[in-house]
Amino acid sequence: MEQSIKLSVDAVVFGYESGTISVLLIKRKYNPFKGKWAIPGGFVLNDESLEEAVERELREETGVQINYLEQLYTFGNPKRDPRGRIISVAYFGLVHPNAFKIYASTDAEEVHWFKINELPELSFDHKEILDLAISRLQSKITYEPLGFELLDEKFPFSDLEKLYTTLLGRAIDRRNFRKKILKLNVLDELSEKVSKGSGRPANLFKFNEKRYFQLKKDGIVFDI
């Protein structure tokens, strides 16, 4: 029997800002699921790689351009798409929403950031895709330091703590967390200080870009 399979890509883009995690969704302009919310994505063209396809679809449908998205999983349930047998390779990434001006285009009617605990009903099997992406993100931060793309260039250490507690969805041992992060040697402590609330002024930090990306490349596991 001759195969009749099409290949698509989907992009789960998380945004982090001020202690809130959101996900970028589009409202579909055409059937199936016309007028319903979905993860950005579409079919892979004959002459492009998977990475080129997911970056193009994300850019065309939302205006967001990300140079690196990590492959999440391949979804191939025969009944996942009413149009026929369509396999989707899903990707995910994490950005600062303010870094982009989002706009709907091509087959997207609207584009919007939704808080991950206030999501609309999703099309296709996109809830399954999103749930897996959230789980992967939470496990990812136990072996790879995050924050370079999400925090201001200079930030108090408390902002990094807040990022991790938000991503993990739970409290952390602050003293132990600080000790382990500083031991990674990816932060430079600055002489500049910032005042927050009624407490003592706190020193600002910045990521050492060279050491940070080398550590991400090498890979490391640190129990938070």
Active site residues: 110
Distances (CA, A) of 130 to 31, 83, 173: 21, 21, 28
Residue ranges of alpha helices (H) inside 105-208 are 126-140, 157-168, 174-183
Distances (CA, A) of 12 to 130, 141, 160: 7, 17, 23
CA distance 57 to 49: 12
CA distance 90 to 133: 9
CA distance 132 to 78: 19
DSSP calls for 106-132? TTEEEEEEEETTS---BSTTHHHHHHH
Give the SS3 label for residue 53. Answer: helix
Integer-rounded Cα radius of gyration of the chain: 19
